[in-house]
Structure 1
Amino acid sequence: MDKNKRNSGLNDRFEVLLMSVSVLLIAFIVGYLTLYPEQGKVAANSVLSMLTNTFGSTMQLFTVLVVGFLVVIALSKYGDIRLGNSKPQYSTLSWVAMMFFCGNGAGTVYWAFLEWGWHFNAAPQLNGVAVSEAVNYELSMAYTFFDWGPSAWALLCVFVLPFAYHYYIKGDSELRFSVLCKYSLGEKAVRGWFGKVVDFIFIFAAVGSISITAGTSASTISAALADLLGINQTFTLTTMVLIGVALLYSVSSFVGIEKGMRRISDSNVYLCMTLLGFIFIVGPTQFIIDSMVNSVGLLSQEYMRMSLWTDPIARTGYPQGWTAFYLVYWLTFGPFTGLFVAKISEGRKIKEVIANMLISGPLGLLLFFGIIGGYQQSLRVKGILDIPNMLVTGQAEQIATATINSLPLSKIVMVVYLFVIVLFLATTLDAASFTLSSTVSKKLKATEEPNPFLKLVWCLVLVALPIAISFIGTDIGTIKSIVLSTGLPLVVILVIIYHGFLREMFSDFSNMSREDIIKHTAIKELDDGVAITEAK
């Protein structure tokens, strides 16, 4: 009887069946790919080819429309809707830092050392004409800024708004992805099989994407650690790295966002500034500045063409293999990032959320990719270190350590770099465990966090999966292709969600002026025990 009561209590608080089935299905897919690697690789590549070639241009157009839509909403009266009638829970620095680090944070440090080299080797074309090596340097940096710029962050931000509106304005305590569909399809639909499928897609995309990020980041960390200690990089070392990071973010998860992730994110901001500042000062400072300014100019001039270039005549495959691929890749992070950013954005206006994600995110990445990429390009020009060639010869994991070893005080810089990427990975995994736990929790109050033991379970899953993938030798590209297969259904689900979300928002606020909206959603404070409303 006690056991039945305990199980009944768990089912009342959590989506036990959803979590169990999701974890089992993910384990089954990994197991299948291990037993039948060739068949899995063929199937995965076919799915990826269909997504990028058949629906690539549609995805490009969809992204441009999303960017335009977010700008319009931010500038309209609806941008003044405040998410909750209270002061922001976190300082602006902490809020921006957690937003920046929660998504593909660890991937940022990984790709900052590699991205321009891949574009350089792919030799992107401008206006359909093959370019010289000098222009290729410039284009490779501009395309890096584009891939991680406003378009990418727009695909994350577009998921934040319905989550935040649903949670703070409509007052619903459930944070599951499927529940957002109820405003369009009705309560009955989201409580049935459709809702379960939507939530599984969310969990699958989140677990898969974060596991891939964790796997690539752990390999980079172990390579840097091996170089620092003068030992060989092994599977055991990579596993120890993942377990060590798991311990760090498990502690962070148990103490909560306020004392855990917020403090780690704040600390990492200063460490990142220290690392980038050192490279900027001791490196070719003027070259880095010129490279960044030039790349921003190219991006500004060619933004629409980069966004919508499909290369219909030459068919080089570049926009499909890079632009469309990246857009789908960012989209798979959207629901996970959207839920987390919504949860930490209490007290913020909709236009603040949009501005933060479309401006703060790209600016932070511009510094990361611009300073590191500019320094690496100068090394290649001087014949010191050839990043594009290292990529061709399969030395991707050693590029970060080789770059850092070219700096003065390289051992000290390596230690700072290790702290940065470890903290990046810890905050990314912390945010992931938070959102996954929220998804399988039936009700959460605005100030309440998911059960810490539930977060620990997700922590273990998120660490165990990349360890298993690495141990059994499953092709990481195959896993990545399968995760990206969730991109197409996410677009369909997003359209359903926005049909209901916009209808609700227009119904609630269309008859109000901007001034009325500001007053209606103004911050409420307590002064000597008396509630007062202060319009800000």
Structure 2
Amino acid sequence: MQLIVSAGLILAVVLWGLLAPASLGAFFNEALGSITHNFGWFYLWVVLALVVLAMLLAFSRYGDLKLGAEDDEPEFSIGAWFAMLFAAGMGIGLVFWGVAEPISHYTAPPPGIAPETPEAANAAMRYAFFHWGLHPWAVYAVVGLSIAFFQFRRGAPALVSASTDALPWKPLQRLSPVVNVLAVVATAFGVAASLGIGALQINSGLNTVFGLPVGQVAQVAIIAVVTAIFLASALSGVTRGIKWLSSFNLAVAGALTLLVFVLGPTVALIDTFTTTLGAYASEFIRMSLRTTPFRDSSWVSSWTVFYWAWWVSWSPFVGLFIARVSRGRTIREFVIGTVLAPTLAGFVWFSVFGGTALHLEIFLGVPVAEAVQADVSTALFAMFDALPLGLLMSLAATVLVLVFFVTSGDSATLVLGMMSTQGNPNPPARVKLIWGVLVAGIATSLLLTGGVQAVQTATIVFALPFAVVIVGMAVSLWLAVRHDWREEQKRERALRQRMRELAGQK
């Protein structure tokens, strides 16, 4: 039933976008204005609270609790585990925005900062760290930890609704089907957002390397071809397709980062990382709760609120996926692996790619900003053009986006299949095929409706209801963790008492 309802709702939106793109675009724009004006503060508070909760669970006495039985061992090595969660979590986004976001902030900085100044460059890097740092990964971690905790310790099905079982408000259990449908819809549109921008960047990369024309026909064709590839990968299973592709892409991303670091302004990049890390730490709270009540500005809603909505919409997908591959790890291991490690990797990525782009723009007059303003998806390739081995790096980046596209779609079809089949960890191939086609249809529909802007708008609109669900999951997780920790303490005390009694009898 949930499969029919959620798939039917998504199919209706896809058809609306294909048959009347102007009408769908107008609807989403009106909804966007209302949500960002009235609920932007809600996104800010919720995501900051999730950061606090993740750190509290990891570095408190509760961090030793295992996701599973005491004798459960992790299914995947640390390297393969990290590669899969990183590829699923934000692979396409990092490649797309690694150059484009810092340059965008440099030319159009937050309110109160003059554009194209040293202050704007510093703010550009600081906000890139902020938008891709602890906050998004904490959203993923809390959702994933909640699902894994109830699934592996309580024997619950791999469903978002099962993660609210510890809530004291039992009438909410009747809303489980609604919660699961919200999770499916949020996931489908969040993944489609990334697939849409992935198609744009693949098109730009193929134009740079092979001269393929840039346009909607090419982008729709790219979506169709890559969808066929990720469906083939999805049907091969987690331990094969997703694992191998994720490990391959992590290696390519690392090699590309190292190459740009060596060929670019190496010392300046080290300074950029150091300075930005300090600024990020000192401005953390202010950026986390920044709104503009006394200034007519859409900057916060266009960037921070959009990103928080994007992470929220991706969280049921990424959360279910990383829960699926995390059995046997402790809460502390889980949070370190899903929050701190990828945050550091993201900081290095933006320091190298964003720092190089800003250096070329400011000191060498390379028109990277001009490329961003003309077409955001060309930003990375405009930077490569100014570096040695630029064509080779453009080719590598195109392959990187292509494989991230495949791993994201691959993981999404698995998770959507699980959510729509009552938590079945190995959903039927037929269900995976349905979701793969629907997600590709959403991405195509949104691109035809209005490109990146339409993708962003739809993401924010569909993420709001699920943000409320995440609050319930976080409260339920906290109550369940405290209960299980107390029970373990009781068992340990009883065991120690029994051992003392046996020793006394001897």
Q: Report the alpha carbon displacement of residue 443 of structure 1 after superposing the two structures with TM.
A: 5.0
**Matches of 2:33 and 2:377 in 1, distance apart?**
26
Would you say the 8 A contact 2:139–2:311 is kept in 1?
Answer: yes
Q: Give the 5 Å matches for 1:130-529.
A: 133-172=117-156, 174-184=157-167, 190=173, 194-392=175-373, 394-444=374-424, 448-470=425-447, 472-474=448-450, 476-513=452-489, 516=492
Shift of 1:473: 4.1
State how far apart, in whole Å, the 2-side matches of 1:226 and 1:285 are: 29
Q: What is the CA-CA distance between 1:80 and the residue it aligns to?
A: 0.8
- Which of residues 35, 48, 71 in structure 1 aligns to 2:55? 71
In structure 1, distance between residues paired with 2:475 and 2:294: 36
* TM-superposition CA deviations, 1:49-106 (whole Å, max 9, x none): 3332322223222222221121111122221111123111001011111111112321
> Could you tell me which residue of structure 2 aligns to residue 12 of structure 1?
none
Change (3 A) 1:60 1:231: closer
- SS for the counterpart of 1:435 is helix
Moved more, 35-44 or 162-171: 35-44
Distance in 2 of aligned mates of 1:315 and 1:272:
39
Is the Cα–Cα contact under 8 Å of residues 22 and 449 in structure 2 kept in the other structure? no
Give the 3 Å change call, closer, same or farther, for CA 443–200 of structure 1 in structure 2.
Answer: closer
Give 3-state SS (helix, strand or coil) of 1:103's partner: helix
**Residues 195 and 384 of structure 1, relative CA distance in 2, 3 Å threshold:** same
Tell me which protein shows more helix as a share of its residues. Answer: 2
1:4 alignment counterpart: none
2:16 to 29, 32, 39: 32
State which drifts further: 148-157 or 397-406: 397-406
Deviation at 1:303, TM superposition (A): 1.0
The range that moved more, 92-101 or 241-250, is 241-250
**259-268 vs 451-460, greater mean Cα deviation:** 451-460
Q: Deviations over 1:420-472 (max 9, x none)?
A: 1111111111111111011012353xxx53333422332222223323444x4
1:382-424 CA deviation, whole Å, 9 max, x = no partner? 34422333333x3222222222222222222222112211111
Alignment of 1:103 onto 2:89: yes
Q: Work out whether residues 160 and 338 of structure 1, in 8 Å CA contact, stay in contact via their aligned partners in 2.
A: yes
SS at structure 2 position matched to 1:109? helix
5+ long unaligned stretches in structure 2:
497-506
Alpha-carbon shift at residue 114 of structure 1 (Å): 0.6
> Shift of the alpha carbon at 1:34?
4.8
Kept in 1, the 8 Å contact 2:193–2:459? The answer is no
TM-score, length of structure 1 as denominator length: 0.85
What's the offset of the Cα at 1:261?
A: 0.9
Contact between 2:84 and 2:242, CA under 8 Å: does it hold in 1? yes
* 8 Å CA contact 2:107, 2:115 repeated in 1: no
Q: Distance in 1 between matches of 2:449 and 2:23?
A: 15
Q: Secondary structure at the match of 1:485?
A: helix
**Is the 1:209–1:480 Cα contact (8 Å) retained in structure 2?**
no
CA 1:189–1:34 in structure 2 vs 1: closer, same or farther (change >3 Å)? same
Question: 1:479 & 1:368 partners in 2: Cα distance?
Answer: 24
Cα distance change, pair 274–443 in 1 and its aligned pair in 2 (3 A): closer
Q: CA deviation at 1:308?
A: 1.5
The 8 Å contact of residues 162 and 180 in structure 1, kept in 2 or not, is answered as yes
Over the aligned positions, Cα root-mean-square deviation in angstroms equals 2.6
* Aligned-partner residue type, residue 483 of structure 1: T
- Deviation of 1:503 after TM superposition, in Å, equals 3.1
- 1:275 is displaced (CA, Å) by 0.7
For 2:335 and 2:343, the matched residues in 1 are separated by: 12
TM-score, normalisation: structure 2:
0.90
Higher deviation after alignment, 91-100 or 61-70 = 61-70
Q: Is the 8 A contact 2:17 2:445 kept in 1?
A: no
CA contact (8 A) 2:372 2:378 kept: no
Shift of 1:24: 2.3
Q: Kindly tell me: are residues 337 and 516 of structure 1, through their superposed partners in 2, closer, same or farther at Cα, counting changes over 3 Å?
A: farther
1:364 to 1:50, Cα distance in 2 relative to 1, 3 A:
same
The equivalent of 2:500 in structure 1 is none
Report which stretch shifted further, 456-465 or 37-46.
37-46
After superposition, give the CA deviation of every residue in 1:88-144 in whole Å (9 maximum; x if it has no partner): 10010111111111123212211112111221222225xx56587011111101110
Q: CA 1:322 to 1:473, structure 2 compared with 1: closer, same or farther past 3 Å?
A: closer
CA distance in 1, matches of 2:481, 2:389: 55
Instruction: Provide closer, same or farther for how the CA distance between residues 290 and 479 of structure 1 changes in structure 2, counting only shifts above 3 A.
Output: closer
Q: CA deviation at 1:514?
A: 10
Is the CA contact (8 Å cut-off) linking 2:309 and 2:463 kept in structure 1?
A: yes
Match of 2:502 in 1: none
Q: Which whole-Å CA distance do the structure 1 matches of 2:429 and 2:18 have between them?
A: 32
Letter of the structure 1 residue corresponding to residue 417 of structure 2 = S
Retained in 2: the 8 A contact 1:208–1:480?
no
Residue type of the partner of 2:331? Answer: I
Q: Is contact 1:33–1:474 with CA below 8 Å preserved after alignment?
A: no
SS of match in other structure, 2:167: helix
Q: Report the alpha carbon displacement of residue 39 of structure 1 after superposing the two structures with TM.
A: 4.7
